[in-house]
Amino acid sequence: MRMLATMEFPLQPGDRCFGLGEKTGFLDRRGRKYTMWNTDDASPHIETLDPMYVAIPWLVHLERDGSALGLFLDDPTGTEWDLGAGDPGKVVVSTPRAAVDLYLVVGPDLGDVVRRYAALTGTMPLPPKWAIGYQQCRYSYMSADRVREVAREF
């Protein structure tokens, strides 16, 4: 996909990057490149699998001193987020659209950034109690016997 717009932001040693929706690997996304494009990939969910099910173009940049900045790219196309993979001193966000809506959500700290992001995008209502129970996925169990073994533990 041809990228028409690119934005760059500095990264300092010790800065951390969080967010981008459902991704494999570590919570700190720094050092990798990610694609924002929802897909249902049947491949094993290894650390480097990307993209996956939920792409949320929202990044929190947490500096060493605890100050924070959020980046929300309101763009449904297949964007790319390079969080220091190509150049360890830069976040590079690329999009195939020539015009984009980019929101910079300023702290000073992580709590303020998250509250301001929620005010921008909205929050969901609290789900009913019956919907907040334990959920079990059989994805990683390779046999029916293993599924039954796990079920007996409850």
Q: How many domains does the chain fold into?
A: 1
What local confidence, expressed as pLDDT, does residue 138 receive? 66
Q: Which residues contact 87 (CB under 8 A, 6 or more apart)?
A: none
DSSP 8-state assignment for residue 120? H
Residue 145 lies in a domain: no
CATH of residue 66: 2.60.40.1760
User: In terms of pLDDT, which residue wins out, 43 or 102?
Assistant: 102
Range of the domain at 104: 5-124
Domain membership flag for residue 30: yes
pLDDT of residue 66: 94
- Give a yes or no: residue 147 inside a domain: no
pLDDT digits (tens, 9 = 90+) for 70-93: 999 999 888 999 999 999 999 999
Condensed to tens digits (0 to 9), the pLDDT of residues 46-72 reads 777 776 778 899 999 999 999 999 999
Q: What percent of the chain has pLDDT over 90?
A: 56
CB 108 within 8 A of CB 67: yes
144 within a domain of the structure (yes/no): no
Residue 148's pLDDT is what?
Answer: 86
Nearest 10 degrees: CA dihedral of 130, 134, 137, 143? -120
Gap between the Cα atoms of 73 and 36, Å rounded: 10
What average pLDDT does the chain have? 89
If pLDDT is split at 50, 70 and 90, which confidence band does 24 have?
confident
Q: How confident is the model at residue 137 (pLDDT cuts 50, 70, 90)?
A: confident
Residue 83 lies in a domain: yes
Question: Which band of pLDDT confidence, cut at 50, 70 and 90, is reported for residue 112?
Answer: very high
- Examine residue 113 and state whether it is found in any structural domain, yes or no: yes
Within a domain: 31: yes
- Judged against a pLDDT cut of 80, whether residue 13 lies above it is answered with yes
In a 10 Å sphere around its CB, with 0-12 CB exposed, 13-18 middle and 19+ buried, how is residue 73 labelled? buried
Shortest CA distance to 97 belongs to which of 68, 64, 81, 75?
A: 75
- The answer as to whether 67 is a domain residue is yes
